[in-house]
Copies of this chain bind each other. A is one copy, B any other.
Amino acid sequence: MAEQVQVFGFWESPFSRRVELALKLKGVEYQYFEEDLPHNKSDLLLKYNPIHKKVPVLLHHGKPIAESLVILEYIDDIWKESYPILPHHPHQRALARFWAKFIDDKVVVAVVKAAGSRGEDREKAIKEAREALETLEKEIEKSNKLFGGDDIGFVDIVGTVIAGWIPAIEECFGFQLLTTDNFPNLIKWSDQVVNHSIVNQILPPKTEIVAFMKANWKF
């Protein structure tokens, strides 16, 4: 199996880690190629993702797929039987896609903007990020469970960028986004996610993320 499934990734990339998490949840073996980022992209990465030139890339039987959400859908399409990632019911599936898109379009964009700006621009981006996180807080409060219900699902996989990376960004850039006082349900969800036995294997330690960001996130 492993030689048919290959992942081009980078240890610190939350997008790349999503793909590995999905494969591990499914019990799919894969061959992993660690890219030397941010400066030495391999020829294979550039060959397989010529449009965006970014990790992650999934190669299945030699055919490449890029973009983490697209890859997660593909993994769920191919290995249907083992560990469903997207909900079975079409309306639930649509909601999962909606929230995954929300996390990438609203939370990630605002957090990266906050990290990369100063002064008023940073304050504005922090406000945007908190508003997006409040929307998620309300959503997760409704069910008091993981987004995927009792098991890690599509939105939880995508949300590892919040659970695993936001604490490192807060430490690295010196601003606070998630506090137990304001986000009790999101913090509870986040604890459940990071302590999950498989997520735990794929999340880089916070200290290493912070060290990488300090060395490489030059704004």
A-side interface residues toward B, CB under 8 Å? 51, 60, 63, 65-67, 69-71, 73-74, 77-78, 90-91, 93-95, 97-98, 101-102, 135
CA distance A95 to B63 in the complex (A): 11
Q: Do B77 and A93 touch across chains, with their CB atoms under 8 A apart?
A: yes
Q: Do A51 and B135 touch across chains, with their CB atoms under 8 A apart?
A: yes
| A155–chain B nearest beta-carbon distance, Å | 13
Q: Do B102 and A74 touch across chains, with their CB atoms under 8 A apart?
A: no
Contacts of A73 in B (CB 8 A): 93-94, 97
Q: Do B78 and A90 touch across chains, with their CB atoms under 8 A apart?
A: yes
Closest to A50 in B: B135
CA distance A66 to B95 in the complex (A): 9
Contacts of A77 in B (CB 8 A): 90, 93-94
CA distance A90 to B74 in the complex (A): 6
Contacts of A97 in B (CB 8 A): 67, 69-70, 73
Q: Do B66 and A91 touch across chains, with their CB atoms under 8 A apart?
A: no
Contacts of A67 in B (CB 8 A): 97-98, 101
Contacts of A91 in B (CB 8 A): 60, 63, 65, 74
| A132–chain B nearest beta-carbon distance, Å | 9
Contacts of A69 in B (CB 8 A): 97, 101
Contacts of A63 in B (CB 8 A): 91
Q: Do B101 and A70 touch across chains, with their CB atoms under 8 A apart?
A: yes
CA distance A78 to B92 in the complex (A): 12
Known: A70-B97, A91-B65. A102 touches B60 (CB 8 A): no
Q: Which of A60, A94, A135 has the most CB of B within 10 A?
A: A94
> Could you jot down 30 A-B contacts, CB within 8 Å?
A51-B102, A51-B135, A60-B91, A63-B91, A65-B91, A65-B94, A65-B95, A65-B98, A66-B98, A67-B97, A67-B98, A67-B101, A69-B97, A69-B101, A70-B94, A70-B97, A70-B98, A70-B101, A71-B94, A73-B93, A73-B94, A73-B97, A74-B90, A74-B91, A74-B93, A74-B94, A77-B90, A77-B93, A77-B94, A78-B90
CA distance A98 to B69 in the complex (A): 9
